Amino acid sequence: TAKRNGRNHSQRFRPALDVQETPQLGIVNDLRHALATGSQLELHYQGQHRLGDGGLVGWEALLRWRHPRDGMISPVDFIPLAERHGLMASLGNWVIDEALACQARWRRLGMPELPIWINVSALQMFQGELESALSAGLARHGVPAPLLGLEITESVLLDERAGDIAPRLEALRKLGHPVAIDDFGTGYSSLGYLKQLPLDKLKLDRTFIRALPGDRADAAIVNAVLAMARGLDLEVIAEGVETEAQRDFLLAAGCVLVQGFLYARPEPADAIEARWLPAGSGGGSTALAAAKVN
């Protein structure tokens, strides 16, 4: 917002209403327009890898807004706006549709058949239409539910607005979607509570990875989460792995899956296709070796 407010220097000296609300309404209208046309929104895809051999196991879809005047706006900035201004349901439905369209296209092109994981916002979990939006999308695009994973941030588990979360997660898993808890370790959910939830995967938040291997407290937390997850039969994927030292620590600690800049940055679908598919062919899968880091 500093950038948006900073466009007109004199705004700083105006009353609070002008400085904060007027620019925000402008950007909300821009977002409404972007949703109506769909043209400024994009999903970028970041690979998820096995630590041992670097092999690709899935993709996370990350939302991008290419604003015609302000350039790329981070989802961290515009998702809260969408939630506050009643746009989250349509934004969430756009993500579901776009990820499924991409998955359908990748299957046609002969890309390796791996799940694309989308982020589901808290509001989508609180409201009831998520399941119907998912089933409609799966049918429209002819994609099997196991190829669309759902990442739900840990804080949603403890948010009263979500009501009893276990039956919601059960319904999503019954549709066939794998379910992961995102940003795990930041939300204070208890281990006993986790045991009751139907889950496939924990995504260890990158704040615990950043200072590895030097930080003893973070190292202890990561080891404890890995031990607990083994006991609960949950997969763990470490987020935000940027260095070989972090990777080596995680490998020695028994972590199996990773995602991070060391392996791949989020990229638009066409960039991924160009790298994975042999030039000039309508399909193929010879690029599997290219995903290996080691």
Q: Is 63 or 222 the residue whose CB approaches ligand C2E more closely?
A: 63
Footprint of ligand C2E on this chain (CB under 6 A)?
46, 62-63, 74-76, 79, 95, 118-119, 121, 151, 182-183, 206, 239-242, 259-261, 266
211, 209, 180: which is closest to 59 by C-alpha? 180
228 in Cβ contact with 206 (< 8 Å): no
What residues have CB less than 8 Å from 69, skipping those under 6 apart?
A: none
76 binds, among Mg ion, ligand C2E, none (CB under 5 to 8 A by kind): ligand C2E
Distance, in Å, from the CA atom of 23 to the CA atom of 13, rounded to the nearest integer, reads 14
Q: Find the shortest distance in angstroms from Cβ 32 to ligand C2E.
A: 17
For Mg ion, which residue of 83, 98, 154, 183 counts as binding (CB under 5 A)?
A: 183
Cβ atoms 188, 157 nearer than 8 A: no
Partner touching 242 among Mg ion, ligand C2E, none, CB below 5 to 8 Å by kind: ligand C2E
Q: How far is the CB of 147 from Mg ion (least distance, A)?
A: 17
Q: Binder to Mg ion among 30, 83, 98, 151 (CB under 5 A)?
A: 151
User: Minimum distance between the CB of residue 278 and ligand C2E, rounded to whole angstroms?
Assistant: 27
- Would you list the DSSP string of 64-122? EEEETTTEEE-HHHHHHHHHHTT-HHHHHHHHHHHHHHHHHHHHHHT----PEEEEE-H
Binding mask 233-252 for Mg ion (x = CB under 5 A): ------x-------------
Q: Closest separation between CB of residue 48 and Mg ion, Å?
A: 10
93's contact among Mg ion, ligand C2E, none, with CB below 5 to 8 A by partner kind, is: none
With CB cut-offs between 5 and 8 Å by kind, which of ligand C2E, Mg ion, none does residue 47 bind? none
Shortest Cβ distance from residue 93 to ligand C2E (Å)? 11
Range 111-140, binding Mg ion (CB under 5 A): 119
253's enclosing H/E stretch is: helix 244-253
CA distance 33 to 25: 12
249, 219 contact by CB (below 8 A): yes
Residue 155 amino acid letter: S
Total residues at the site for Mg ion (CB under 5 A)?
A: 5
In whole angstroms, what is the distance from residue 272 CA to residue 18 CA? 43
Q: Which of residues 28 and 264 has its CB atom nearest to Mg ion in the complex?
A: 264
13 vs 159: CA distance, rounded Å: 38
* Closer by beta carbon to ligand C2E, 121 or else 277: 121
Q: How far is the CB of 18 from ligand C2E (least distance, A)?
A: 28
Nearest alpha carbon to residue 187 among 209, 208, 158, 151:
158
How is residue 291 annotated by DSSP?
A: G
- Binds Mg ion (CB under 5 A): choice among 30, 83, 98, 182: 182
- Least Å distance between CB 111 and ligand C2E? 20
Binding site for Mg ion (CB under 5 A): 119, 151, 182-183, 239
